[in-house]
Amino acid sequence: MQYTMDSDKIRIENGRIFDIVRRRWVALTPEEWVRQQTINMLHYRFMFPLELMQVEAAIALNGMTKRCDIVVYDRNVHPWMIVECKKESVPLNQKVIDQACRYNLVLKVPYLLLTNGSQLLCLKVDTGTETLQQIPLPYYSAGE
């Protein structure tokens, strides 16, 4: 699915980019650029509340600490969506889907969002059948 990322609200200075969720400057890497574009798109276009997003959320998976790029919580502060961001040169393939699914073994969210800045793949998780269905990215109010 194609979406235009919003970059007009992103602040960049001296090789650093301002993260509006963490409220601090971070190193501007290709993946961080995609992450910040995605945060801005989710917030400004799809009405995701900043206070219900967590960047680089740590989870324990098979005895190791892993970090989800972004976890979005519902209004009851339960994990609702995992967002996996890749730099633009990384294709959204089965390997990326598998990574998000591994994280979801821990968080058990109903939605996975994968992006490389030029492509966006939103998947609804059906836990009953253990299948994924590609859907349009929902506005946040749909997750209440």
Report the CATH fold assignment for 12-143: tt1808, chain A (3.90.1570)
- Decide: 74 and 80 in contact? Cβ < 8 Å: yes
Q: Would strands 111-115 and 16-19 be described as parallel, antiparallel, or unpaired?
A: unpaired
Q: Which positions ≥6 away from 34 have C-beta within 8 Å?
A: 5, 85, 86, 87, 88, 115, 116, 117
9 — pLDDT class (breaks 50, 70, 90): confident
- Decide: 16 and 26 in contact? Cβ < 8 Å: yes
Q: Where are the domains of the chain?
A: 12-143
Buried b (16+ CB within 10 A) or exposed e, 10-28: beeeeeebbbbbeeeeeeb
- Percent of the chain residues past pLDDT 90, beyond the cut: 81
Query: Does the predicted model carry a pTM greater than 0.95?
Result: no
Three-state DSSP class for 5? Answer: coil
Q: CA 49, CA 96: separation in Å to the nearest integer? A: 25
Residue pLDDT, tens place only, 23-54: 999 999 999 999 999 999 999 999 999 999 99
Q: CA 133, CA 66: separation in Å to the nearest integer? A: 25
Residue pLDDT, tens place only, 62-74: 888 999 999 999 9
Residue pLDDT, tens place only, 80-95: 999 999 999 999 999 9
DSSP assignment of 95-109 equals HHHHHHHHHHHHH--
The pLDDT score that the predictor gives to residue 82 is: 97
The residue behind tokens 């400004």 is 44
CA 137 to chain centre: 11
